[in-house]
Chains A and B, each alone.
Chain A
């Protein structure tokens, strides 16, 4: 199965700033997803990253706050914009080829101060 490199692994950011998280897959995947995991909670899907077009966002998430790019089949970025302490979470990307299951990045642990 694919291997996903996600960076940064962690960051501490000032409120009002933005952070871009990158995920690089070592092989082509059909679909890529971004998840948020708030402290002590489960994973919540933010959006499906679509290659070459706008991401598909889940209810409660908007493009202005979480812009996503996916320029090709192996790379995607998630930006957390205008951050507040409530954005402190683990952010994970995931990829699937639709056949062999899902691979996850190692996560980005974000703290907003």
Chain B
């Protein structure tokens, strides 16, 4: 069975601070995909990144970066120089066999001015 754990339910930072959101996953499949989504207060899910299990390179996109480590089954997400607009709930998700996504519990990020 697949499982995604986001241990941090809520994080509060002050604007311009760096913040890392943790994601740990469990799967028996050797081929799988990991995702991060952002859910602002409006409720829609915004796709941020997809990473497959064979690509352990870290990725940077502007202020966002992702650290994928298979050895620890983790796929952590860092926001550098956080902004108020980054305030949202962030979900880590896992896709393995069956094509359905398994979501973590989500981390609510509050960035205060």
Q: A42-B106, A102-B35 are in contact. Are A33 and B43 (CB under 8 A)?
A: no
The interface of chain B, by Cβ under 8 A from chain A, is: 33, 35, 37, 43-45, 47, 50, 91, 95, 99-106
Complex Cα gap A92–B103 (Å): 13
Residue in A1, A30, A98, A107 whose beta carbon sits within 8 Å of that of B43 in the complex: A107
Contacts of A31 in B (CB 8 A): 99-100
How many chain-A residues does the 8 Å CB contact rule pick out? 22
B interface, by DSSP: helix, strand, loop or mixed? Answer: strand
Can you list 23 residue pairs at the A/B interface with Cβ under 8 Å?
A: A31-B99, A31-B100, A33-B101, A42-B91, A42-B103, A42-B106, A44-B103, A48-B100, A92-B45, A94-B101, A96-B99, A98-B99, A101-B33, A101-B35, A102-B35, A102-B95, A102-B101, A103-B47, A104-B44, A104-B45, A106-B43, A106-B44, A107-B43
How would residues 92 to 113 of chain A score, 1 for a CB under 8 Å from any chain B CB and 0 otherwise?
A: 1010101001111011010000
Q: A106-B43, A106-B44 are in contact. Are A43 and B100 (CB under 8 A)?
A: no
A interface, by DSSP: helix, strand, loop or mixed? Answer: strand
In contact, B43 and A90 (Cβ under 8 angstroms): yes
Known: A44-B103, A98-B99. 16 other contacts (CB 8 A): A1-B47, A41-B106, A42-B104, A42-B105, A42-B106, A43-B101, A48-B100, A92-B45, A94-B101, A96-B99, A101-B33, A101-B35, A101-B47, A102-B35, A104-B37, A107-B44
Q: A92-B45, A101-B47, A107-B44 are in contact. Are A43 and B103 (CB under 8 A)?
A: yes
For the complex formed, measure the closest distance between the CB of B90 and the CB atoms of chain A, giving whole angstroms: 11
